[in-house]
Amino acid sequence: MTSTPRVRLDPSTRREQLLTLGVRLLATRSLDQLSIETLAEEAGISRGLLYHYFGNKSDFHEAVVRRAADDLIEATMPPPDDDPLARLAYGVAAYLDYVVENYEGYLSLVKGAGGGNPKLRAIYEEARTALTERLFEEDPDGLMLTDNPLTRMVVHSWSAMVEDMVLSWARDPAGVEREELLALMGGALVSLVDLAR
């Protein structure tokens, strides 16, 4: 029998690997169900070592959620494109896929942030700001969005609407097709911005 030689990883690489595993585990369970014990078992290492890497449970959750938020921001980054509508469509589709694939963890983040955990709330708000801010940054000439307080309010509330749609669709599609939903979510922003002109 041969076995893969164990490679000694430096601590920061090891920590990154463990975070990646934590985010993967979060796809199918809530944050409450993701304990350091669960991660230790899945990673095949001691709880003591995990406490060494992550401190306490609250710091561990914060690190996993921060990584999940970074993943979401990266996953929904459209390729360079001159057309704001094409970038919007890409972002919306990638967001839908991300939430469907990471449903339990995403839902628990929304609940944790909504319930007033200040650290989770801050990470959630940062991620949401990054996603909506991008729409303005990608459109410096204001082809789709004019940067003013009313449009900002519209974009923020549109993102709340999209989150609600995606979460209910992920829970129960109720016969609504993916393409139909995507067209609706993208089209909604265009219509709302038009109404707010």
Does 110 contact a second copy by CB under 8 A? yes
Burial of 91 (0-12, 13-18, 19+ CB in 10 A): buried
Neighbouring C-alpha atoms within 13 Å toward the C-beta of 154:
20
Min CB(59)–a second copy separation in Å: 20
Min CB(176)–a second copy separation in Å: 5
If the CB atoms of residues 53 and 124 are measured against a second copy, the closer one turns out to be 124
Contact map string, positions 129 to 168, toward a second copy, x by CB under 8 A: --------------------xx-xxx-xxx-xxxxxx--x
If the CB atoms of residues 133 and 180 are measured against a second copy, the closer one turns out to be 180
- DSSP-assigned letters across all residues of 25-88: HHTSS-GGG--HHHHHHHHTS-HHHHHHHH-SHHHHHHHHHHHHHHHHHHHTPPPP-S-HHHHH
If the CB atoms of residues 45 and 130 are measured against a second copy, the closer one turns out to be 130
Residues 172-191 that bind a second copy (CB under 8 A): 174-176, 180, 183-184, 187-188, 191
Does 116 contact a second copy by CB under 8 A? yes
Only one of the segments 12-20, 73-81, 86-94, 115-123 lies at the binding site for a second copy (rule: CB under 8 A); that segment is 115-123
Contacts (Cβ under 8 Å, ≥6 apart) of 166: 95, 96, 99, 100, 181, 185
Sort residue 95 into left (φ over 0), alpha (ψ -120 to 50) or beta.
alpha
Q: Which residues bind a second copy (CB under 8 A)?
A: 110-117, 149-150, 152-154, 156-158, 160-165, 168-169, 174-176, 180, 183-184, 187-188, 191-192, 195-196
